Amino acid sequence: MASILQKIFYMPENALGDLSQVKLFDILKPLLTDKMTGRLVIRGKEKGEIYMERGDIVDSRTDHFSGENAFFTIMSWKAGKISFDPEILPKEKTILITTEQLLLNWSSRKQEFEKIKEIIPSHHCLFRASLLKDGKEKTITPEQWNVIVMANGAKTISEIAKSLEWDEYRVMRIVYQAVQMGLLERIEDRDSKKKKTVSDQFFNILDTELRKIMGPVAPFVIDDKLMEFGESKEAFPEDQSLSFIEALSEEIPNPVKRSEFLKMTMKLLSF
């Protein structure tokens, strides 16, 4: 992987690929190891920038954030074109910790997110204040209070984040804390009664057919795509099933196998 990327680094257009086919960390590793200086750009729904100086990550930006929050946000993206320009130098330093510590923080955040997903599987989830059953006094921080006030059973995680001008992960983390404290409880997602979900066999079929092509990484590819859609297996909307299958097929680089995957899954799921 590294040798392939090292060749790409010196292509005139500086194109490094697409996040739908390669993990951003695999792009970063040789850049950091080779102590590169320049700007890594990811262009998708948003634009993200990571600036390096002699192998150290010193600045990161998205449309809404800068510094560590921007870096963590970019590292969670699953789609976008990646390019690198060694001619563009960092103008300021928004990341004040070492690159090693930054990557450790990112790794820790990934592990924390897995726990949060058990309670908040989607940014469409709704929460409301819960009755205090234990009768104990609670100490609430100002940022927890802001989220609890907004979590009125009508605003989703995504809408709360937008109202507070925070990233969704920050809101999810605070909601998770509030649920653990018994201050918030999850309620039925908006319009969930109106929306029909996929059958139990839907993901079983996808997993079986994708394993034939991609092997044991198949379930991880499906989980990554679910995260990108912001949905869970348990409540995946039927009206998004076709889009999900098509998006999943894009992870298969071989066009013949991609076509076979689409044909077989469509047949088995009776589309």
Distances (CA, A) of 32 to 24, 25, 52, 171, 177: 12, 10, 8, 31, 35
Range 120-187 has CATH code 1.10.1740.10: no
Query: Which pLDDT tens digit goes with each residue over 78-117?
Result: 788 899 999 999 989 999 999 999 998 888 887 787 788 7
**Domain residue spans in the chain?**
2-106, 120-187, 201-268
Please compute the mean of the pLDDT values over residues 162-185 and round it to a whole number.
89
Confidence (pLDDT) at 6: 47
User: Residue 16's CB: how many other CB atoms inside 10 A?
Assistant: 23
Return the pLDDT at 216. 84
Residue 155 near residue 148 (C-beta atoms within 8 A) = no
Note if the pTM is more than 0.85: no
In 3D, which of 198, 185, 188, 181 has the Cα closest to residue 241?
Answer: 198
